[in-house]
């Protein structure tokens, strides 16, 4: 067992990946998460890798139950994503994805806020290259927006850390709570990364624009680091319950009408984050366990769904529901794997979502959050509707698009199979996951009531889908864009700025024009006096001259008398 922070081997491997090609690179990329996971497994709870810097104690490797669980999860996610992307011949992507996974590990094992901040920013810097790796105009502008928002989140975090260190004299990354300015600044920084309502569009905007393999990496790390940070610093903050319930509900409406299937999954990712945020907000041992367990399962089943849609995009070059359909005919393996992911996210009994979502739901009832429980139940039915049915249905079934694409490369199928097996394994034997959770809670998801009620909920949600489809009430997939909060900064703000600048130019032009015209008029009136008929061109009478001189002398005389 080596007491080195887990991000170190990932960063070293990323450097190696830059110079290696072909199978040596593949070997390094698979070996690193595997060996590092084995090392982490045997690392006991404790604090390693400390460094004193200007009176502050930095801690690069704090291993406790919470961070270790996320550590295992990120290793598994990295391994699956690496295998999924083995066929990619893009050195930049391969190297950056390891840096990104390493940054996520750095953030969760950070024992102090300054280390957290460094990895927080590294997460943004490394992940944006996965978006730009698509090398399209859309991915470029979406990446810029993504990057701006994440750097802003980092700056808020830094400001919060400055205030925090002033009032606490320490930088320990522990419970913070909504006290003082620092509490709110850090909360907002975490919230932006966690895709809180109104700050969620970086996710739905950028993730679907990444490469088929890049999105799989992206979906695993950034938001889960934020969930971890919230669980560490804001457990039991009641505001989170309401934020979480909102996050669980509103994205499902957008998911129903969205055409880009990876964007549907991005909305559904926010919806799943909602369950975790509610759990953290409730803050009891059961609720925190539920939030963390759900984060674990979500990374794997959401990864599986993103992988299956990535496979579709890879082999067909299309991802819009309106252009797909009937792919089950030639891609049966991908279809089955996608359905496993869909069943897991919908929390079917024997699939992983079932054993973690119910922890949060039970905690909500136990703490008397009745309305929140009803909202979560509604969104649980809604998840099945948009992610559980819509994704497989419009991609693989529905009307036959005529596309006869072959199965994706073997490495993609292997990665999806690993994820699918994990979904089933956790679903069938949840105790394996439960014993890794931060709190000790005896909970059994498999009692008759729970299984029956969940099946009733899901089957009748499916019945609603069938009924709406047969009655032709279901909204068809249409090539379209749906406005969301990002409209404010993609359309309204640029439009307003353009309008304001154009207005300023107009005012400027009018002022200049007015001034030029005034000068012209002055010149005209002066020159008019020089011309025939002007005052200066008139013949003056001698008498009037004498009268003028007399007047002038009179004035002098008057002044002389007065003076």
Partner 1 sequence: MSLEKHYFFDNPRNIQRLLKVFYVACGLLVALDFVVHRHTEHYLERLWGFYPLYGFVGCVVLVIVAKWMRGFLMRGEDYYDRVELADRDEASGGGQGSV
Positions 226 through 285 that interact with partner 1 (CB under 8 A) = 252-254, 256-257
Residue 46, phi then psi, degrees to nearest 5: 170, -175
Other beta carbons within 10 Å of 373 = 20
Other beta carbons within 10 Å of 540 = 10
Answer for which of 15, 162, 481, 547 binds partner 1 (CB under 8 A) is 481
Q: Which of 120, 90, 117, 107 is nearest to 29 (CA)?
A: 90
Smallest gap from residue 497 Cβ to partner 1 (A): 12
Contact call for residues 108 and 228 (beta carbons, < 8 A): yes
- Residues 502-561, interacting with partner 1 (CB under 8 A): none
| Stretch binding partner 1 (CB under 8 A), from 196-204, 219-227, 464-472, 532-540 | 464-472
Smallest gap from residue 450 Cβ to partner 1 (A): 9
Contacts 24+ apart (CB under 8 A), 178-186: 178/234, 178/237, 178/239, 184/160, 185/156, 185/157, 185/159, 185/160, 186/113, 186/156, 186/157, 186/160, 186/161, 186/233
- Residues 367-386, interacting with partner 1 (CB under 8 A): 370, 373-374, 377-378, 381-382, 385
Answer for which of 21, 65, 329, 510 binds partner 1 (CB under 8 A) is 329
- Residues 45-84, interacting with partner 1 (CB under 8 A): none
Residues in contact with 455: Cβ distance below 8 Å, sequence separation at least 6, in sequence order = 348, 349
Residue 234 exposure: Cα atoms within 13 Å on the Cβ side: 30
Answer for which of 435, 442, 449, 544 binds partner 1 (CB under 8 A) is 449
Answer for which of 491, 506, 517, 521 binds partner 1 (CB under 8 A) is 491
Nearer to partner 1, 46 or 317 (CB): 317
Nearer to partner 1, 135 or 510 (CB): 135
Answer for which of 468, 522, 526, 558 binds partner 1 (CB under 8 A) is 468
* H runs (alpha helix) in 20-109: 22-41, 65-84, 91-108
- Residues 197-226, interacting with partner 1 (CB under 8 A): 209, 211-212
Nearer to partner 1, 473 or 559 (CB): 473
Nearer to partner 1, 455 or 515 (CB): 455
| Binding of partner 1 by 466 (CB under 8 A) | yes
Smallest gap from residue 304 Cβ to partner 1 (A): 19
Distance CA 237, CA 272 (A): 19
Distance CA 142, CA 207 (A): 9
Q: Which of 465, 333, 349, 340 is nearest to 408 (CA)?
A: 333
Smallest gap from residue 277 Cβ to partner 1 (A): 21
Contact call for residues 357 and 275 (beta carbons, < 8 A): yes
Answer for which of 406, 431, 444, 456 binds partner 1 (CB under 8 A) is 456
* DSSP code, position 112: B
Answer for which of 460, 505, 540, 556 binds partner 1 (CB under 8 A) is 460
Answer for which of 51, 162, 365, 519 binds partner 1 (CB under 8 A) is 365
The pattern of x and - marking residues 127 through 166 that bind partner 1 according to CB under 8 A reads ------xxxxxxx-x-------------------------
Nearer to partner 1, 374 or 553 (CB): 374
Nearer to partner 1, 182 or 254 (CB): 254
Q: Which two tokens stand for residue 106?
A: 């750095």
Smallest gap from residue 459 Cβ to partner 1 (A): 5
Nearer to partner 1, 24 or 494 (CB): 494
- Interior/surface letters 276-300, b for 16+ CB within 10 angstroms, e for the rest: bbbbbbbbbebbbbbbbbbbbbbbb
In a 10 Å sphere around its CB, with 0-12 CB exposed, 13-18 middle and 19+ buried, how is residue 505 labelled? exposed
Three-state SS at 260: strand
Contact call for residues 379 and 305 (beta carbons, < 8 A): no
Nearer to partner 1, 136 or 529 (CB): 136
Nearer to partner 1, 36 or 215 (CB): 215
Smallest gap from residue 474 Cβ to partner 1 (A): 6
Residues in contact with 428: Cβ distance below 8 Å, sequence separation at least 6, in sequence order = 350
Contact call for residues 61 and 49 (beta carbons, < 8 A): yes
Smallest gap from residue 247 Cβ to partner 1 (A): 16
| Stretch binding partner 1 (CB under 8 A), from 17-25, 272-280, 490-498, 549-557 | 490-498
Q: Which two tokens stand for residue 300?
A: 């794997």
User: How many residues make contact with partner 1 (CB under 8 A)?
Assistant: 71
């Amino acid at each position: 067992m080596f007491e080195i922070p887990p991000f170190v081997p990932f960063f070293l491997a990323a450097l190696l990946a830059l110079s290696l090609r072909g199978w040596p690179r593949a070997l390094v990329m698979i070996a690193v998460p595997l060996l590092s996971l084995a090392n982490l497994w045997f690392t006991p709870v404790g604090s390693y890798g400390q460094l004193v810097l200007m009176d502050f104690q930095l801690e690069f490797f704090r291993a406790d139950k919470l961070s270790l669980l996320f550590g295992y999860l990120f290793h598994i996610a990295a391994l699956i994503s690496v295998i999924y992307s083995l066929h990619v011949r893009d050195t930049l992507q391969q190297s950056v994805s390891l840096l990104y996974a390493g940054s996520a590990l750095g953030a969760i094992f950070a024992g102090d806020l300054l280390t957290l901040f460094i990895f927080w920013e590294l997460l943004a810097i490394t992940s944006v290259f996965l978006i730009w790796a698509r090398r399209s105009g859309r991915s470029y502008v979406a990446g810029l927006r993504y990057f701006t928002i994440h750097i802003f989140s980092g700056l808020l975090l830094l400001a919060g850390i400055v205030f925090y260190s002033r009032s606490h004299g320490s930088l320990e990354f522990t419970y913070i709570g909504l006290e003082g300015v620092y509490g709110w600044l850090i909360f907002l920084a975490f919230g932006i990364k966690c895709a809180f309502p109104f700050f969620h569009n970086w996710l739905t905007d950028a993730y679907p624009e990444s490469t088929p393999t890049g999105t799989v990496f992206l979906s695993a790390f950034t938001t889960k680091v934020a969930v971890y940070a919230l669980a560490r610093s804001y457990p039991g903050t009641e505001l989170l319950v309401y934020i979480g319930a909102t996050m669980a509900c509103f994205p499902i409406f957008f998911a129903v009408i969205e055409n880009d299937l990876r964007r549907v999954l991005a909305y559904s990712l926010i919806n799943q984050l909602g369950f975790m945020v509610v759990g953290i907000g409730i803050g009891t041992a059961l609720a925190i366990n539920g939030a963390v367990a759900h984060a674990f399962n979500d990374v794997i089943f959401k990864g599986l769904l993103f992988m299956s849609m990535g496979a579709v995009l890879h082999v067909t070059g299309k991802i819009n529901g309106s252009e797909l359909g009937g792919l089950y005919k030639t891609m049966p393996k991908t279809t089955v794997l996608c359905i496993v992911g869909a069943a897991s996210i919908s929390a079917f009994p024997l699939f992983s979502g079932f054993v973690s979502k119910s922890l949060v739901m039970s905690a909500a009832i136990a703490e008397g959050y009745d309305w929140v429980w009803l909202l979560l139940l509604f969104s649980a039915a809604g998840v099945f509707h948009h992610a559980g049915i819509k994704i497989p249905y419009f991609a693989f079934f529905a009307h036959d698009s005529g596309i006869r694409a072959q199965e994706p490369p073997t490495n993609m199928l292997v990665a999806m199979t690993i994820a699918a097996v994990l979904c089933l394994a956790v679903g069938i034997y949840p105790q394996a996951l439960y014993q890794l959770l931060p709190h000790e809670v005896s909970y059994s998801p498999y009692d008759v009531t729970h299984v029956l009620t969940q099946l009733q909920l899901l089957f009748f949600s499916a019945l609603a889908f069938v009924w709406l489809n047969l009655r032709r009430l279901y909204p068809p997939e249409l090539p379209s864009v749906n406005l969301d909060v990002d409209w404010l900064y993609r359309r309204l703000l640029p439009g307003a700025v353009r309008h304001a600048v154009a207005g300023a130019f107009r005012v400027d032009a009018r002022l200049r024009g007015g001034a030029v015209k005034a000068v012209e008029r002055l010149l005209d009136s002066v020159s008019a006096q020089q011309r025939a008929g002007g005052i200066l061109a008139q013949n003056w009478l001698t008498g009037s001259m004498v009268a003028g001189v007399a007047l002038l002398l009179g004035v002098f005389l008057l002044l002389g008398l007065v003076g």
